[in-house]
Amino acid sequence: MKEYQKSKINRIKRGQNRATYDVEKIDAILDAGFIGFVNYIFEGKPISIPMGYGRKGNKIYLHGSQANRMLTSLLKAKEISMTVMHLDGLVLARSGLHHSVNYRSATLFGTLKNLEDDLAKEEGLKCFMDHMMPGRWDGIRSMHQEELDRTLVAEMTIETASAKIRDVGVNDEPEDYNLDVWAGIVPLKQIAEYPVSDDQLKSGIKIPDHVMRYYEEYKY
């Protein structure tokens, strides 16, 4: 089992029983999502912004315009942190204090660099697109050079990370278990609904196989 080394920056202090530094488990959390919250400082003010991402090995790919304030600030600092979280359930206890949620969250820390070579930029964008929906990149038109030129593609190298996972039931006070109060879990998950074709689609174009595969996998 490969783990990220614990340090001051990634060590989890509260709820250590829910902490994991296992690379495989953290990768699974990243692969199950597509939106991460990226944190940065702009003119002395802390800001957090949700961003789509792609993962390949220990690399995370982000993209935006060449004038993107967040990415240009992070590239100047050469450091980045990002958090991905999945809400899996509402934990309803017998008392307000013991209500909680079941979740999976991973926080990443690493370095960031600008990909300037066209081939590297396209590989980063392909990773981003395939993370969103496997097979999508091969089913769309190639990028125009001017599109590639005005797009900033940043590559994060994950230096260290940690995750917290809660996947258990209600934890009430011993004396509260005899109360006439319902307690339990309301499971939550994100699902895919049936694809809706664009209203300007040319006649005869069917929903592609890779889209239907995605729908079938995530419809429940």
3-state DSSP assignment of residue 203: coil
What integer pLDDT is reported at residue 21 of this predicted model?
98
Q: How many domains does the chain have?
A: 2
What confidence score (pLDDT) does residue 155 get? 98
In Å, what is the CA distance from 197 to each residue of 129, 130, 213? 19, 20, 15
Domain match, 174 and 212 both = no
> What value, to the nearest 5°, has the Cα angle with vertex 131 and ends 126 and 135?
65
pLDDT for position 148: 97
Mean pLDDT of the chain: 96
Q: CA-CA distances (angstroms) from residue 66 to 28, 47, 58, 99?
A: 31, 19, 24, 44
pLDDT at 180 over 90: yes
Structural domain span for residue 209: 190-220
Percent of the chain with pLDDT over 70: 100
Helices (H), 5-162: 23-31, 69-77, 118-132, 145-149
Dump pLDDT digits (tens) for 77-120: 999 999 999 999 999 999 999 999 999 999 999 999 999 999 99
* pLDDT of amino acid 199: 95
DSSP symbol at 117? S
Same domain (yes/no): 113, 185: yes
The pTM is what?
0.94
Distance CA 68, CA 151 (A): 9
Whether residues 133 and 32 share a domain: the answer is: yes
Claim to verify: residue 151 and residue 213 sit in the same structural domain: no
127 plus 207 within the same structural domain: no
Give pLDDT tens digits for 12-35. Answer: 999 899 999 999 999 999 999 999
- Indicate whether 141 and 168 sit together in one domain: yes
> Which whole number is the average pLDDT over 140-157?
97
- State which amino acid sits at residue 99: H
For residues 62-71, give the mean pLDDT. Answer: 95
Q: How many CB atoms lie within 10 A of CB 119?
A: 8
Q: Is residue 20 part of a domain?
A: yes
| 125 and 205 both lie in a single domain | no
Q: What confidence score (pLDDT) does residue 15 get?
A: 87
Instruction: Give the Cα separation of 43 and 204 in Å (integer).
Output: 52
Retrieve residue 199's tokens.
Answer: 């209203």
Closest CA relative to residue 32, chosen from 53, 59, 48, 3: 53
Question: Is 217 inside any structural domain?
Answer: yes
Q: What distance in Å separates the CA atoms of residue 160 and residue 7, rounded to the nearest whole number?
A: 9
- The pLDDT-based confidence of 1 (bands split at 50, 70, 90) is confident
136 to each of 127, 200, 216, how far by Cα in Å?
10, 19, 15
How large is the average pLDDT for residues 48-70?
A: 97
Alpha helix (H) residue ranges in 78-198: 118-132, 145-149
